[in-house]
Amino acid sequence: MPPVSGEYESFLADVAEAVAQHVAPWRARIAEAIAQWSAAGYAVGVLERAMQLPKEPDVDGLLATFAAAAEHLASLERVALAADPALAGQPVFKDPARVAEAEDATARAVAAVSPPPGPEAALTRDAFEVGESNQGAAAVADEAVATPGVRHALLVIHGPSGVGKTHLAHAVANDLVNASGGALVAACVTGEAFAGELVAALQAGGVERWRARYRAVDALVLDDLQGVADKERTQQELVALLDDLAAAGKQVVATLDRPPEGVPGLAPELRQRLERATVVAVDVPDRALRERLYARALAPRHPGLDADLLRFLAERPVRSARDVAAIAARLTAAAEVADVPLTLRLTQTELGTAARVAEAKAAGVVDAFFLDAEKVVWDWPDVSARVSEEHR
């Protein structure tokens, strides 16, 4: 009998049918994915472990997650290589089980090239005066510095404008950096700036790079976070960033102009995280704090300051520590212009004038143009001095 043509092909077709019929279909799908991703150079340990499962897992979810992770890794690798070509070929960018490591490597590479803005060096904890109105916040901030990323991993400081929230938040960042001998990286950004950076990154197609900068930090200060209100995409990014930093045990300090529950325009996810954080208030400076603030502000230029002067100043209510600094600067300028020491009388005169302007403004009976302190003379000199030079 002559050989039957195509016997082998027929046999092969039967075997293929039997394999397709009897091999667990879900394992076959994973096996195909393993072959595909291996060929692309990816580590497939995750998929191989899934193959060993006694029961069928969510294969669609598994493969979709793997594909998303691989895509994310490719994106990270592009960003990392742009920052540091020496990272080419790093296995971490080919292993979906090591996404966190890849993110970290990318973030550090990017941060090394263009680090985010750090805290203002002048805003230290030593320079932050403590009184009844802010002692609770200061104590919690000190705890955060002692154990960053632990008990107060997300610290929210709220209070009116100018009361020292930014100072305290930057002080935390400065202390953390200094305590590490400069090893830790701290970033400080306002809510408005954060949103602006994101928009710019989106327009430039560099979101991954932008994200990586912030994920590389060890401490993050988000100042005036209410600036992200009603900015949906920014808040999404912010939530993801807060979660990543929390998972990595990093310290975050946010400041708000009011308690989190009162800030309008926040997405529920962000509001939830802020409300769950350690929330502390900084109030307008109390009398004792005002006295210390004035003493600190005036002492460098006016050594041996009169205690009565400080008491006089401290008795006057202010809305914020910033107001204290402004008043101190104004008194210093007045004393320097007059070329006299800063005295209680000069202070009373200077502040009295300002007070009258303020009262007139409040009454609303004078044309506001003439209430500008620089344009109006409230205390006329004697008559001879009033005659203009040309008429003498």
Partner 1 sequence: MTIVNYATREITCKIVYYGPGRSGKTTNLHYIHEQVPDGRKGRMVSLATQTDRTLFFDFLPLDLGSISGFTTRFQLYTVPGQVYYKTTRRLVLQGADGVVFVADSQASQLAENVESLQDLHANLGEQGVDPRSVPLVLQYNKQDLPPELILAPAALDEALNFRGAPSFEADALHGRGVFETLRGVSELVLRRLSAPATAGR
Residues in contact with partner 1 by CB under 8 A are 1-4, 7-8, 10-12, 14-16, 18-24, 27-32, 34-35, 48, 51-52, 54
Whether residue 166 contacts residue 123, with contact meaning beta carbons closer than 8 Å, is answered with yes
What is the closest distance, in whole angstroms, from the C-beta atom of residue 94 to partner 1 in the complex? 19
What is the closest distance, in whole angstroms, from the C-beta atom of residue 61 to partner 1 in the complex? 19
Closer residue to partner 1, CB minimum distance, 26 or 214:
26
What is the closest distance, in whole angstroms, from the C-beta atom of residue 156 to partner 1 in the complex? 50
What is the closest distance, in whole angstroms, from the C-beta atom of residue 5 to partner 1 in the complex? 9
Cα–Cα distance measured from residue 235 to residue 241, given in angstroms and rounded to the nearest whole number = 10
Closer residue to partner 1, CB minimum distance, 22 or 375:
22
Among residues 260, 296, 254, 257, the alpha carbon closest in space to that of 130 is found at: 296
Closer residue to partner 1, CB minimum distance, 19 or 373:
19
Among residues 276, 281, 282, the alpha carbon closest in space to that of 153 is found at: 276
Cα–Cα distance measured from residue 312 to residue 307, given in angstroms and rounded to the nearest whole number = 9
Closer residue to partner 1, CB minimum distance, 13 or 146:
13
Helix (H) or strand (E) holding 260: none
Integer Rg of the chain from CA = 33
Closer residue to partner 1, CB minimum distance, 56 or 232:
56
Helices 344-363 and 321-338: crossing angle, nearest 10°?
120
Across the strands, what pairs with 219? Answer: 186, 251
Residue 317, classed as helix, strand or coil, is coil
Closer residue to partner 1, CB minimum distance, 7 or 390:
7
What is the closest distance, in whole angstroms, from the C-beta atom of residue 95 to partner 1 in the complex? 17
What is the closest distance, in whole angstroms, from the C-beta atom of residue 42 to partner 1 in the complex? 15
Residue 154, classed as helix, strand or coil, is strand
The alpha carbon torsion through 131, 133, 136, 137 (nearest 10 deg) reads -100
